[in-house]
Amino acid sequence: MTEKSCVVVGAGPGIGLAVAKRFGREGFQLALVARRAEALAQYVADLEQTGLTAHAFPADAADFNSLVQAFTQIQAQLGPPEVLVYNAAVVKPEPPSTLPVEDLSAAFRVNVAGALVCAQQVIPEMKARQRGTILFTGGGLALNPYPAYASLAAGKAALRNLTYSLGADLEAEGIQVATVTIAGFVKPGTHFAPDLIAEKYWELHSQPPGQREREIVYR
């Protein structure tokens, strides 16, 4: 429990797994959080085949109680996380003119509120240690909304705002809060390949105090 750990909430085959691999290569134990236990087990197996240490903690980002329980288990098993990456999102095409308010609220719960719930699970220990990193996966829709994805655009804009306010709140505590704003479609083999984007998460974590950026816009 003395090893550094990185928690990835919203672990999946794209950005989530790429970020986990990037931090794993730097010696971090990996805690993967996502809804589907079967998928998590496969991700853990894939990571361990490459020599990395990973653990699965099933939880639903829309269910705050399950998130709190997952972090309780993570702290008990791995100790206080050094890094939190929140990568969960609801991606559902709905234009704002016909977007049901209930759908907007449900998406906001995952896209924004879940991020805050997770951050609040790690902040007390990070404050006690006077260090730690909280990273949110942002999107270019926060800067240039696209009407076909109204709820996602609103969520990414709110998450970006939360990043800046939470970062200002915690900066004096030695805690880095930042976002990678991905302004393009993630696709392997392109400029927007997950492994290339994952480098930006590591870059934000690695920045020394006094030289920390709040956001990297990946274009």
Write out pLDDT tens, residues 143-185. 999 999 999 999 999 999 999 999 999 999 999 999 999 999 9
State which amino acid sits at residue 127. Answer: K
Residue 35: per-residue pLDDT: 96
3 pLDDT higher than 90:
no
189 pLDDT higher than 70:
yes
Over residues 79-105, mean pLDDT: 97
Number of independent structural domains in the chain: 1
**Overall pTM > 0.95:** yes
Cβ-contact 194, 186 below 8 angstroms: yes
Residue 86: per-residue pLDDT: 99
Residue 145: per-residue pLDDT: 96
Write out pLDDT tens, residues 39-81. 999 999 999 999 999 999 999 999 999 999 999 999 999 999 9
- Provide the pLDDT confidence category of residue 2 given band limits of 50, 70 and 90: low
State which amino acid sits at residue 74. Answer: I
17 pLDDT higher than 80:
yes
Mean pLDDT of the chain: 97
- Short-list 145, 156, 77, 153, CA closest to 115: 156
What CATH number has the domain bearing residue 78?
3.40.50.720
Range of the domain at 87: 5-218
Residue 136: per-residue pLDDT: 99
Q: What percent of the chain has pLDDT over 70?
A: 99
